[in-house]
Every structure is written in C-alpha cells, then in structure tokens.
Structure 1
Amino acid sequence: MPRPQSRPAALDALDRAFASEGPFPVTGCLYCYGEQDLAQLSGSLGHISDDLVSSVAAKTPDHWDDFPRLYRRLVPRIIRPVVTGGFRIDEELVASRLVQAGWTTWDAPLTEALRDVWDAWWQTSLRTHPGPVSSRTVLAVVTVATGGLSSWLDTWTGVRTAAADARLADLIDDVLFESEFTDLSMGFYGEYHATAELVDWLLTDVRDRVADARPDAPYRLETFRTGARHAG
C-alpha cells in the first residue's frame, strides 16, 4: 500500500483536482441570500468571501437549486480550513453536508482527491499532539464522510507514536464525560452510531497505551460492555 501523502500535499492535490469545477450561474434562496451573494457565488472561486463560503457550507441543501454542484465547487474552500482548524462552522456538519451532496458519486479524480485528504489528515493527526482539531472531531469527520469507522481505528492501532497515544488519552477523557460511551454518535445529526465499534476497540490491547485508571473501574467496564451490546 502506498504511503499516504502529507496533509499539505493532499490539500494542494485537492485544489488541482477541483480546479475543473468552473463557475456556473448559482440560484437559490433569495430570502437568505441577496443577488450580490448569488453573483459572487457564480464568479471566481478565489473571490468568494470567507463568510459566504462558511454560510453556504452550513445551510441545508434546500437553499440551492443545484446543491451538489455548488458544494462540489466550494470543496477546496471548505475542506482546507476544516483540516487546518480554521473553519467557522462545526466540522462534523461539513461531513454531513458532503454525504448529502453525494460526494462518493462524483467523478473519480474528485473522490480520490478527497479520500487522500481524509487519509493524510488522519495520519497527520496521529503524529501531532496537540493539534488544531481534536482527535474525536477528526475521527468523526472521516468516519461520517466515508461511512465507516473500523479502518480508521485499525490505522490508530498500527500507529505507535507518543502523539497517537496522547490523542487516545484525549479521546477517552472526552467520551467518558457523563458515560457518553453508552450512546456515542458521530456526525452533526448523529447519523453514525459508533458505540459498539469504539468500545470493542478500546477493550482490546490498545487500552494499555493510556495511563488512565477510570475505564478499568468495574462499574464503568460493565457500563461500556452493556452499551456496546445494546448498540450492536
């Protein structure tokens, strides 16, 4: 298997792949957007304001007459700040919107470029701590976008770095809050139910990589196992 690209290289490749998505006449909700906004969205990608990109990235698909095409064209402007931790909206909402836009059905060069970004982002996050985006958020975005969790956990198992272990400790600390493990969902709309897979994974040898006694408490272990059985 080829080594994943670095995050900057994957983002640059994403820009090149999506450069084929040229301007088109954007039409949509004139209650939320003025003619000037629609004209800006119909023009050069580089001239669309950050505020307008953020707004479009967050709005529901029914605001646009051709939502998939508009979201596809804005992907480079949306994904780069998401990955670098500089976006103004919930990162998991972007994953949910990409699914609604049907990104896996786009032309192969586009989907391959996005998959390379997911891989590079995840690999980078496991080798960088602290990072601009939390481990839980990165994991949630790539899981919801791709529709699967296990491959990302497998990668985490195989990356034995101090950063990966620190991120694992962060994740455990995060989801232990109010026993959230028993009902852990990912995605802005909670569309991916992660409890069973994540708890099963954390009850393997990967648990030994974190010096946190809380998951070993008998009552909490039983809570985890019960939650995993119910979620499964």
Structure 2
Amino acid sequence: MPCSEQLMTALDALDRAFAAEPPFPVGGCTFCYAEQDLAELAGPLHLISENLIPAVAAEGPDHWDDFPRLYRRLVPRIVRPLVTGRLHTDPELIASRLVQAEWTGWDPPLVDALRDVWDAWWRSTLDSHPGGGPVTVREALGLVTVTTGGMRPWLDTWAATRTPAADAQLAHLVDDVMFEGEITDLHLGFYDEYHATPELLGWLRTDVRDRVDDPRLDDPYFLGPLWQEQP
C-alpha cells in the first residue's frame, strides 16, 4: 500500500478510536473565547468550526479548565488537518501541546492509533520530495521526535528507506541544519525541548554518510569540538 494510502487508513482508524470521546462542558478563558466558542467546543465534534480548531490547537493549558480532556477529544480534528497541511499552525507547537496533554497516558487504543498516524505520516513524508508534502521534513521530524520523546526510531526508518525521495529529503535536511552552523546546537520543538545535535550529527556522520554529499560533516573547523565527540 502506498504511503499516502497508509496515512489515510491510519487517520480513519484514528477517527474511529476517538469516536467514543463524549462531549463535555468546556470551561476556559472568556477573554480569548466567547461563550459561544466554549459552547461549540462542548458540542458535537464535527460541528466545531474549522476557524476555531487552529486557535484551540495552539492554545496553552492555562486557558482551559480541563486541558488534557479537551485536547484528547479534539485530536481527530487537530491531527488530520495537521498532517495534510490544512491546520496552518506550527507543527512543533502541536507536538508540545500533545506532550502537555500527556497523550502517552491515554487509553491504549487511543495511544496506538495516534502512534500509527505518526508512523504513516513519517513514511509518507519520506516518500515525497522536498516541497511535495504539506510540511518540511525537518518539521515532521521535529513533531514526531518531540511528541514521542525520541529521535532514533525515526532516523532508523529513514536510514532503511533508500529511495530517491528519501535521499532528496536527506539533502534538504542537511542544507537546512548546516546553514550558519545550526547543527552544532540544534534543538527541536516549539520550546526547544529536544536537543537533537548528538543523535542527528552522529547519524549523519555514520549511518547515512554515504548518502550525504556535504564535506562540512567531516570538517573539524566547521564542527569545532563536536567533531571530536561524534563517531
């Protein structure tokens, strides 16, 4: 099954898994949200305005009486437009909000369904050439890394995906993180919560070095002390 079809299948399964999440009275900041907005958020999921979803998806926990429950219920309305490029909210901010909502502690069927979406989305991203997907490969890597708390599984998938598209995405990422030496102190996440340099630089210099045409990865002057620390 092509990666894009796997993603749609995973998103449909996500909808089914979260369908049992019932509406509940939503309390929140009435300075930022009108009573009508709160009533809408408390009603049927499919009737919540598309204009309201991005604002709520980005809003911090302190704006809501029960942020984890609200975010959990809205996951289908947040994640589908996110991975299809229709949410228009920083993907890494969504990752931070999911971590704040403690999504890995939700009921196992919900957690599994969301993990399946991340896996299918990452494979779909690697299957597209730069500019061909709704977000950049760096944004996708940042989201799945911060959300799941680990980068290595996603890098392993990339290393095992030896296709022209995956190689093009690799070149795009290297150009991005090498600009002005960002790789020497690279953090992922909206709040820079994940220090990516050790894992990513080591991976670039070992696992996929034969697929990256950038001499700066072997330049002690460019990388400074990090060149000595990495394998």
For the criterion TM > 0.5, the same-fold answer is: yes
Evaluate the alpha carbon distance shift between residue 228 and residue 101 of structure 1 in structure 2; reply closer, same or farther with a 3 A threshold.
farther
How many residue pairs get matched? 227
Decide which of 181, 202, 205 is 1:203's aligned counterpart: 205
1:185 equivalent in structure 2 = 187
**Structure 2 alignment gaps of length 5 or more:** none
Instruction: Give the secondary structure class of the aligned counterpart of 2:208.
Output: helix
Looking at structure 1, the residues matched to 89 and 80 of structure 2 have their Cα atoms a distance apart, in angstroms, of 13
Q: Give how far 1:221 is off.
A: 4.5
3-state SS in 2 of match to 1:20: coil
Once residues 205 and 95 of structure 1 are traced to their aligned partners in structure 2, the CA distance between those partners, rounded to angstroms, is 26
Q: Render the CA deviation track for 1:11-56: whole Å, top value 9, x for unaligned.
A: 1100110111121111111111111001110111111112211111
1:219-230 equivalences in 2 (<5 Å):
219-222=221-224, 224-225=226-227
Opposite residue 53 of structure 1, the aligned amino acid is I
Partner of 1:63: 63
What is the aligned partner in structure 1 of residue 54 from structure 2? 54
CA 1:211 to 1:53, structure 2 compared with 1: closer, same or farther past 3 Å? Answer: same
Distance 1:227 1:88 in 2: 38
Checking the alignment, whether the CA contact within 8 Å between 2:98 and 2:147 is kept in structure 1 is yes
One-letter code of the match for 1:36?
Answer: Q
Q: What corresponds to 2:123 in structure 1?
A: 123
Task: Name the structure 2 match of 1:113.
Answer: 113
- SS of the equivalent of 1:151 reads helix
More deviation, 114-123/208-217: 208-217
1 CA distance for matches of 2:159 and 2:99?
27
What secondary structure, in the 3-state scheme, does the structure 1 residue paired with 2:113 have? helix
Letter in 2 for 1:158: A
Using the alignment, how far apart are the partners of 2:59 and 2:174 within structure 1? 32
Give the Cα separation in 2 of the matches to 1:23 and 1:111.
Answer: 19
Alignment match, 2:103? 103
Alpha-carbon deviation of 1:217? 3.9
Distance 1:190 1:50 in 2: 28
**Structure 1: which amino acid aligns with 2:21?**
E
Distance, in Å, in 1 between the alignment partners of 2:230 and 2:96 is 24
8 A contact 1:195–1:227 mirrored in 2: no
Structure 1's 227 and 54: CA in aligned 2 closer, same or farther, altered over 3 A?
A: farther
**Cα pair 2:218 2:227 within 8 Å, conserved:** no
| 1:118-145 CA-partner distances (Å, limit 9, x unpaired) | 1101111111113221111111000000
Contact kept in structure 2, 1:10 and 1:120, CA below 8 Å = yes
User: Secondary structure of 1:43's match?
Assistant: coil
Question: 2:51 aligns to what SS in structure 1?
Answer: helix
Q: What residue number does 1:11 align with?
A: 11
Equivalence for 2:134: 132
1:175 and 2:185 are equivalent in the alignment: no
- Residue 226 (structure 1) shift: 5.6
Structure 1 pair 52–222 and aligned structure 2 pair: CA distance change class (3 A): same
**Secondary structure, aligned partner of 1:50:** coil
Q: Secondary structure of 2:144's partner?
A: helix
- Does structure 2 retain, via aligned residues, the 8 Å contact 1:181–1:224? no
SS in 1 for 2:22: coil
With over 3 angstroms needed to count, the CA separation of the structure-2 counterparts of 1:57 and 1:17, relative to structure 1, is: same
Where does structure 1 lack aligned partners over 5 or more consecutive residues? Answer: none
Q: Which range moved further: 79-88 or 218-227?
A: 218-227
After TM superposition, the score normalised by the length of structure 2 is: 0.93
Write the distance in 2 (CA, Å) between the matches of 1:36 and 1:161. Answer: 49
TM-score, normalised relative to structure 1 = 0.92
